[in-house]
Amino acid sequence: MIKTCEFVSPRHPDKICDFIADSILDAFLAKDKNAHVAIEVMGGHKSISISGEVKSKAYVDIEKIVHKVMGKDYHVHKHVVLQSPFIAHGVDLGGAGDQGIMIGYATSETPNFMPYEYNLARELCQKIYKVYPFDGKVQVTVDGKKILTVVASFQNSKTKDLLEFVKKHIKAGEYLINPAGEWTLGGFDADSGLSGRKIAIDSYGPEVPIGGGSFSGKDATKVDRSGAYMARKIAVDLLKKHKAHEVKVKLAYAIGKPYPVMATVIRDSMTVGVPKSYDLSPAGIKKLLKLTRPIFAKTAIWGHFGRGFLWDL
């Protein structure tokens, strides 16, 4: 079966936005572990816009965070308001901060329970980024375990040098290196970015369904993030317990309600319910996975799964 997965570097415009959003979230959680945060970021061409809703006892200098990440020559447009009391009411009573569907996945085909093609793309992107710490992206196509095609485009790289580097780290039938030519203008200087736009990369790649909600900039009351983390935890647990090949967990929540309206497991094509031993309320998930800590900026770059977080173990 032919599969393809892409990955982008931390200096890709969309990933810069994700990192800023989660850095703001972390700053609030560092001062107030019960902060409610929902931040969206758009940036490009020396200008960054921050929009969202926050309910917190803490004050965070958002412009200072942006300038720390991007430099002081960026103009920051900020429009952050108090979280809607109608949303806050349901959350304060222990309910979910929004409706939505979350997907968790685990497979035995790799040691970290991630899809094979996903690991290949991420690991190659990480290796290239150590040498070329700029905007860039890779793409890997496989047929089973056979690697058919590798694509790599990285800012400030010489095609010949990058080709030699890629060949040392991955063996493929075809290499497409800087296929549109060498390029020196990248990141926010070349393009604009938006947080929450790389949700396939953030999850398991395009072969695994996604619920549709993004993660970055959202605290754990937003179940499109915490529910997805919990679904991954359950998938990994059940994969290990049953020595399965593949486990997919599907959760769905209604805003203001503490427990999911759907909680199913598909284990090697057999559908069952999620074991009752799991507390699937937002409060239960936050406690189990320790999601009130300022740990989220590190999730924004290199994906949210298969990296040794609590929800991967």
Examine residue 311 and state whether it is found in any structural domain, yes or no. no
Looking at the fold, whether 60 and 177 belong to one and the same domain comes out as: no
Looking at the fold, whether 203 and 300 belong to one and the same domain comes out as: yes
Looking at the fold, whether 219 and 295 belong to one and the same domain comes out as: yes
* pLDDT tens digits along 94-108: 788 788 999 999 999
* pLDDT tens digits along 178-230: 999 999 999 999 999 999 999 999 999 999 999 989 999 999 999 999 999 99
Which regions in the chain score pLDDT beneath 70?
89-90
CA gap 113, 303 in Å, rounded: 14
Quick one: tokens of 28?
């609030």
Looking at the fold, whether 60 and 137 belong to one and the same domain comes out as: no
Looking at the fold, whether 104 and 207 belong to one and the same domain comes out as: yes
- Segments forming the whole domain that contains residue 30: 14-85
Whole-model pTM: value is 0.95
The structural domain count of the chain equals 3
Looking at the fold, whether 221 and 179 belong to one and the same domain comes out as: no
- Domain harbouring 36, CATH code: 3.30.300.10
Looking at the fold, whether 107 and 239 belong to one and the same domain comes out as: yes
Looking at the fold, whether 294 and 224 belong to one and the same domain comes out as: yes
Looking at the fold, whether 27 and 77 belong to one and the same domain comes out as: yes
- 261: CB partners within 8 A, 6+ apart: 252, 253, 254
